[in-house]
Each structure stands twice: as C-alpha cells, then as structure tokens.
C-alpha cells in the first residue's frame, strides 16, 4: 500500500494550494496596476522592492489563468472571478508596458511599468525566455477568457520569436552561453510554449493548431535526440566543438525532470509511446543521479558519477554551478512531484511512484513555511535544508513552479490523466 492514497493525496495538494500557497500570492498582487510583487524576502515574505521582472509577471498571468479555468469547472473552490481578474490585468499590464520597438519584451519593469535596465548598459532585450513566458501568459488568458485578441497576439509573438531563434538574434542573460554552444533549455521552453498554444488553438478551432503540434513534436524530438544521453541523463549544454568543461559535463536533475513532463504530455497527445517511455526513464535516472544520499532532497547541479562540480569557471553559468550546486531549492522538488506522478500514471511504473513518495516526504518536511500566517514555502535551502539567504537566479521569490505544479497535481488526481494530456 502506498504511503498516501489517491483521494487523500488529491485533497492534500488542493488544501495546500488553496490555503498555504495561493493566499500568499493573492495578497501580493498589484490590484491597481496589474501584476504581482515578487521581490520578497525568502523567509518573511516582506517586500524588498517594487520592481517587476517580466519573466515573473508573465508566469503569474498564466498561473492565474489556469487556476481560473479550474475554478470555473469546480476543480478548485477559489473564486473564479478573482483569479480571472488577476490573469487579465497582468496580461494587460504586460501588453501596455513590456513590449519593445523591435517586438520583443523588456526584462525588467518598475511597479508602474517603466522599463528598467537589470544589467546597467546592457539594454532591455536581455532574454528570449521572457518572450516565451509572455506568450504563455497571453495564451493562458486567451483560454480563460475566450477572447481571440489575446490568442492572436500570442501567435504573432510566437512566430516572431521562432524567426529570431532561427536567425540566432536572441540573448539569454544573465547566464549567456559561449559561441557555438546550445542549451537544452531552448527547445524545452519552445516545446512548452508550442504545446500550450496548440491547446489554445484547438479550443478556438483555429486552423494553425496542426502547425503548432508539428513544431512541438520537433522540439520534443530535438530534446530526446540531441540532449538525452545513453544513460538517460540530460546534457544541459552541448557545444559544437565537443569541449569537455564543467558547462558540458554537469547535469541539472530538476530541469531534466521538468522537461520530461512537457515531453510526456506532448507524446501522449500525439501517440508517441516511445517518447513517453524515454521520458519516464529520464525522470527516474535524474532522480537517482540528483538525490542527496546523506540529507535527502535533490541537488541543484551534479556531475554524473557522484563527484561534486569542480574546476575553473569560464563564465557566470559555470560560477553559478560551483556556487549553488548543493543547495536544495523549491522548483526541482515541485517539478519532481508532478513529473513522477504523471509518469507513474502513464506507464504504471512503481519506481516512479516511489520517486514521487520520496520527494513528497522530503518536500513537505522541508519547504513549507512553518508559520501558517506567512504561508508559501521558504524556497531556498542549504544542503541540510536550512533557510538560505541567497539569490539563485533572479532576486525574487518565485510565484510559478510551486503553484503551477500543485495545480497540475490537483488536475491529474481529481480529473484524471486525460485531463492533463489528450484533453488538456
């Protein structure tokens, strides 16, 4: 018998979402201008800055839109109108303020929407990932509202981003790659964007749904063919010259696990059982490679074979690996909860259900804030699980991974696997 039965698990995740996580973020939404304040102290939740990173604002819009759709059909008990208001007002804030003259989006805004340089002298168009998340935001709001203008804008932004990627005219600050090196994150984000757009286009009866299906499948195959190693681990960076450095040797267990639920959802929708099996294996292998045998939890970065990452840092990406490899941070654990449970549901794998149960036990003994009056998670921890005052990417408390994965877990458990795949 499993440690947590199906119905109890569904109730647990819904309760944690509705009482510990979403209230924290709804209290920090900017009701006047749209968006959400995310530059917060990791432990107290107090606001440190009113700045709005476009990356985070767009993620918030998608999250609110998806939650609104779940509330509308009764899967959540939260007020649909409130969730939909935050989704729409955040998307409208981005449409008013985030776009640059070249059609891409700024990286950072002030509270009122004024563009602000994150890296002084580097300009506003810092990362194409921000563009990808804005497309996701507009797509999510289009589905939640049924308004075609959001979907049309999302599709236009998607076409423009694809063209920029094909030309090489994109940046990925604050962790750029060396020339002729390629990141698994690139086809990964585009797969997620394409599959969300495909679903929205299908729901709207749009003729281009098949185009987005083909694009998503191509991204899926690029991940599996180019980045998945023979041992089932995922190369985060591949360089054309075959260089052997920390950048090309390391793996990011949580990122690989997140990528694989994108792959599984796309594969099931399009009858690719081979890809489902491959992705399920990657989830299991990534867990095995990343799990800390001493303290539990997933390491942020590992080098296959068990040694700690080491060597000279040739750039900010490698320095990040060296500085934070043994931290235990929120997002890999939330991604592992959903990916392992989805994989177990699709394949019947008891090993993946064991992964879920191990991650569940560690996660809920470690991350949730001990004070219910604060709520959410203390997202950044050291190897022993103690709160860590350290920036591990953007100087924000992230509203996305925990909330998104709780939403998807509730959907999977309450509505069934088809609700998250062929009927999503």
pLDDT digits (tens, 9 = 90+) for 181-224: 999 999 999 999 999 999 999 999 999 999 999 999 999 999 99
Segments forming the whole domain that contains residue 68: 6-420
Question: Which residues are within 8 A (CB) of 67 and not within 5 positions of it... i.e. 6 or more apart?
Answer: 22, 76, 78, 83, 403, 407
| Residue 406 pLDDT > 50 | yes
Strands 108-109 and 52-53: antiparallel
* Residue 116 resides in a domain: yes
The CA-CA-CA angle for residues 70, 71, 74, to 5°, reads 90
Percent over 90 (pLDDT), the chain: 91
What value does the mean pLDDT take over residues 166-172? 91
Tokens of 261: 């639920």
* Residue 76 resides in a domain: yes
| Residue 2 pLDDT > 80 | no
Number of domains in the chain: 1
Q: Nearest CA to 99 among 151, 176, 140, 160?
A: 160
Q: Nearest CA to 356 among 9, 8, 98, 7?
A: 9
* Residue 1 resides in a domain: no
Query: So what's the pLDDT on residue 306?
Result: 78
- Which residue's entry shows tokens 């990452």? 309
DSSP state of 228: B
Gap between the Cα atoms of 149 and 171, Å rounded: 28
| Residue 35 pLDDT > 70 | yes
| Residue 77 pLDDT > 50 | yes
pLDDT one-digit tens code per residue, 220-242: 999 999 999 999 999 999 999 98
* Residue 341 resides in a domain: yes
CATH number, domain of 293, equals 1.50.10.10
Write the Ramachandran bin of 246: left for phi over 0, alpha for psi from -120 to 50, otherwise beta: alpha
Query: So what's the pLDDT on residue 391?
Result: 80
C-alpha 344, offset from chain centre: 20
Tokens of 119: 């890296």
CB 403 within 8 A of CB 83: no
For residues 93, 85, 330 and 189, what is the CA-based torsion angle, rounded to 10 degrees? -60
CB 9 within 8 A of CB 16: no
* Residue 87 resides in a domain: yes
Query: So what's the pLDDT on residue 243?
Result: 87
* Residue 370 resides in a domain: yes
Percent over 70 (pLDDT), the chain: 99
Query: So what's the pLDDT on residue 5?
Result: 82
If pLDDT is split at 50, 70 and 90, which confidence band does 4 have? low
If pLDDT is split at 50, 70 and 90, which confidence band does 112 have? very high
Average pLDDT, the chain: 96
* Residue 318 resides in a domain: yes
* Residue 177 resides in a domain: yes
Query: So what's the pLDDT on residue 1?
Result: 33
Burial of residue 393 (CB within 10 Å: 0-12, 13-18, 19+) is middle
């Amino acid at each position: 018998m499993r440690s947590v039965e199906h119905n109890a698990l569904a109730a647990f995740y819904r309760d944690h979402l509705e009482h510990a996580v979403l209230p924290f973020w709804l209290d920090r939404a900017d009701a006047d201008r749209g968006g959400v304040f995310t530059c917060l102290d990791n432990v107290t939740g107090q606001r440190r800055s009113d700045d709005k990173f476009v990356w985070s604002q767009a993620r918030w819009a998608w999250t609110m839109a998806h939650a609104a759709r779940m509330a509308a059909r009764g899967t959540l008990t939260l007020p649909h109108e409130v969730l939909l208001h935050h989704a729409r007002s955040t998307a409208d804030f981005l449409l008013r303020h985030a776009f640059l003259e070249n059609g891409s989006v700024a990286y950072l805004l002030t509270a009122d929407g004024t563009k602000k340089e994150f890296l002084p002298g580097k300009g506003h168009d810092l990362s194409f990932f921000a563009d990808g998340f804005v497309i996701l935001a507009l797509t999510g709001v289009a589905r939640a509202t049924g308004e075609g203008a959001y979907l049309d804008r999302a599709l236009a932004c998607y076409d423009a981003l694809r063209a920029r990627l094909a030309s090489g005219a994109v940046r990925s600050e604050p962790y750029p790659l060396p020339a002729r090196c390629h990141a698994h994150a690139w086809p990964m984000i585009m797969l997620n964007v394409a599959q969300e757009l495909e679903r929205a286009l299908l729901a709207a009866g749009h003729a281009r749904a098949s185009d987005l299906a083909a694009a998503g499948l191509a991204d899926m195959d690029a991940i599996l063919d180019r980045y998945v190693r023979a041992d089932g681990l995922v190369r985060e960076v591949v360089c054309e010259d075959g260089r052997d450095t920390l950048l090309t040797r390391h793996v990011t267990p949580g990122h690989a696990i997140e990528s694989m639920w994108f792959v599984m959802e796309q594969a099931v929708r399009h009858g690719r059982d081979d890809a489902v099996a491959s992705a399920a294996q990657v989830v299991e292998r990534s867990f095995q490679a990343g799990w800390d045998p001493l303290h539990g939890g997933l390491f942020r970065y590992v080098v296959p074979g068990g040694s700690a990452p080491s060597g000279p840092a040739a750039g900010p990406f490698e320095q990040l690996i060296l500085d934070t490899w043994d931290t235990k941070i929120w997002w890999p654990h939330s991604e592992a909860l959903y990916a392992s449970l989805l994989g177990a549901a699709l394949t019947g794998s008891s090993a993946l259900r064991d992964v879920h149960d191990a991650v569940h036990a560690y996660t809920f003994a470690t991350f949730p804030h001990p004070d219910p009056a604060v709520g959410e998670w203390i997202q950044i921890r050291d190897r022993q699980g103690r709160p860590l005052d350290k920036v591990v990417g953007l100087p924000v408390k992230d509203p996305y991974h925990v909330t998104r994965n709780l939403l998807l877990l509730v959907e999977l458990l309450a509505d069934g696997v088809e609700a998250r795949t062929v009927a999503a």
